[in-house]
Each structure stands twice: as C-alpha cells, then as structure tokens.
Amino acid sequence: MATIKDIAQLANVSNATVSRVLNYDQTLSVGDETRQRIFEAAESLNYRKNTRKMNQQRGRIAIVEWYTAKEELEDLYYLSIRLGVEKKLKELGYDVTRFFQNDPFDTLHDATGAVVIGKYSPAQIKRLKKLNHNLVFVDMNTLDYEVSCVMTDFKTPIKSVIDHFTTAGLTKIGMLTGQESTADNTKLGPDPRFIHFKTLLKAQKNYHPDWILTGDFTPESGYQLMMQLLQDQSSDLPEALFIANDAMAVGALRALHESGIKVPEQLSLISFNDTSICQYTFPTLSSVKVYTEQMGQSAAELLVKQLAASEIIPQVITIGTTLILRNSSK
C-alpha cells in the first residue's frame, strides 16, 4: 500500500494537502490541477508495476470520458478506468488522445479507434458510431447497439455485502445510492446496485424503503443524504449501510463524525469501487473492489484485437469483484 508520503512526493505537495484532498475536505483551497495530480498519483501508486515497453507507435487511439475533467475528480472510479486504458495503450505502442465531456468530438474520426468510458444516451452512441465505428465502451452494456463493451459484475458483490452484514448479526440494512444522467440530460435507469440490493432484501423479507436514500455520486451528496437519514430516522436508524460508491461514503463518514455516530460500533459501512481513498479515510473504508485497471486494460486489448480483425463481432467482457474488509464494518 502506498503511503500519504509516497503520494505527496509523487505529486510534489505536502502530506497534509494529500490527506485533506483524499478526504474531500471542502474547506481546503486547492486548484483542480493540484487535486488531479494527487488523485492520479494515488491511483498510479496502487497499480502493479509493468516494465514492458513498445517504442514503435502503432497509431492514435482516443479515450472518451463521459465526465468533465473536474467531475472525474469527484468519482475516482472513472479516473481509475481511464488511467488503466492509457497505461495499456502506451504499453502496446499507441499514442493516446483524451476527450472529456465538454470537449468537441469532431476530430474523433481521425483516431484509429476509441475506448469510450461511462454512460451515454442512444443519441450520443449513434453520434459516436458515426464519428468512429471502431469503439469499445467501458461501464455500459452496449451490445444492443452492436458495440463491444467491458462491464463489472454487480449481483454477486451485492449478495456478498448483504451476507457479510447478516453474518455479523446486522439485519437492519439501508443504502445510499445515486441517480445518473448523461451529458445530454437523458436520465438513466435505477442504479443496478440498488436493483440487486432491493431484490435480495425483498427475497429475505428484510427490505425497508425508509432506509434507502437517493442523491448523486458525489461526496457532498453522501454527506447530505446521511444527515437526512440521521434526522428522519433518528429513532430507528439502520445498523448497517451499503453505499453505492466511495465518494458518497467519504461524505457520509464526515456526516457521521460530525453527528457523533461511531463507525462501525453504531453504524457499519461498506462502499463500492475500492478506489485509493478507501485506505486514507478514518476509519478506513470496507469496499467492494472493482478491478478498474483490469477493466481499462481489457477494453484497450479488446479494441486492439478488434482493429486487427477482418470482422467486428460485438462482445461483452464482465470483470468480477472482491469484497475488501477494513475498519468501517464489523
């Protein structure tokens, strides 16, 4: 595990700045460029070292991110995927071009192909296919659009989380989740983590809608939702919470600290994604590890394989997960 000192040295900032940035301290005045350096340093230090190099450039591949560069810093899941894609493409000898949500995509047709990260509306997918037919999506099932994609498994890890809570004797289980929209303001369906969570708890006759709150996938939303839960359910709080991503969990932890609720003694928490920040919160966050580097690498490899093929055959690659237990859960 990389230390705060390691990250500080790589990002050329102080240890205190790293700690406050990783914990999304809203009172810290620091520029987005510095925050990006810190988050990228934290993520890169958690990647396995690979000395393989290919000096010959084989073409230019685009990475399309559904977030803006600033929004990406609020959800390290997508930053981690992007870094994984970039790392693999550079190892394979490709030049890389980034497109963020607010960048014009008109030059996408000049790229050899593109790895597209995040969620997109049907209209956006149609436009991307028109600009470049050599595409692989990450974190969205695009098989219906005849485009290959790399996904993470959701059902198995949600069952693991619920099983862990119940084995620990915690049967009053709630969830903080989020609602997403694409860049063109198309609302997406319910969070698949919530769908599996609801289905599994209903089957156990243990689903309590009063303990389910929905916001967005940011630290501030996690903070606000937790404060709302503490206020609305003060006389009947859940014993355990599953939180849909690490950024929300960081905000929720801050709300619990401010309210004097002890974690995990009074409320046990498990989040999702296991980005680098989980190791630097207090207490450290239990989280479902999504292998974001592998997702990014698999997408890059799939695209390169697709470029070499005489026929594009759309396929889905699903990457498994692991529940990592730390100090926020019993």
Q: For the chain, what percentages of helix, strand and coil (3-state, to nearest 5) are there?
A: 45, 20, 40
Specify whether the CB–CB gap between 240 and 267 falls below 8 A.
yes
Q: Assess whether pLDDT exceeds 90 at residue 75.
A: no
- Closest residue by Cα to residue 328 from 291, 292, 274, 259: 274
Structure tokens at 304: 């390169």
pLDDT at residue 266, as a whole number: 96
Residues 156-166 have pLDDT tens digits of 999 999 999 99
Pure H helices in 171-218: 192-203
Find the range with the poorest average confidence among 28-37, 140-149, 171-180: 28-37
Confidence of residue 51 (pLDDT cuts 50, 70, 90): very low
Strand order of the sheet with strand 60-65?
95-99, 60-65, 113-117, 135-138, 148-152, 316-319
Q: Assess whether pLDDT exceeds 90 at residue 8.
A: no
Q: When comparing pLDDT for 21 and 144, which is higher?
A: 144
Q: Which domains can be identified in the chain, with CATH numbers?
A: 1-46 (1.10.260.40), 52-152+291-320 (3.40.50.2300), 155-290 (3.40.50.2300)
- Three-class SS state of 289: strand
Total residue count of the chain as it appears in this document: 330
Residues 291-321 have pLDDT tens digits of 999 999 999 999 999 999 988 899 999 999 9
pLDDT at residue 114, as a whole number: 98
Average pLDDT in the 181-195 region?
Answer: 94
Residues 233-276 have pLDDT tens digits of 999 999 999 999 999 999 999 999 999 999 999 999 999 999 98
The model scores a pTM over 0.75: yes
pLDDT at residue 50, as a whole number: 45
pLDDT at residue 48, as a whole number: 46
Separation between Cα atoms, residue 228 and residue 150, nearest integer Å: 35
How does the average pLDDT of the chain come out, rounded?
Answer: 91
pLDDT at residue 155, as a whole number: 95
Confidence of residue 99 (pLDDT cuts 50, 70, 90): very high
- Closest residue by Cα to residue 4 from 16, 29, 80: 16
Site of tokens 């940011």:
218
- Cis preceding-peptide flag for 283 (omega within 30 of 0): yes
Q: State phi, psi for 173 to the nearest 5 degrees.
A: -115, 130
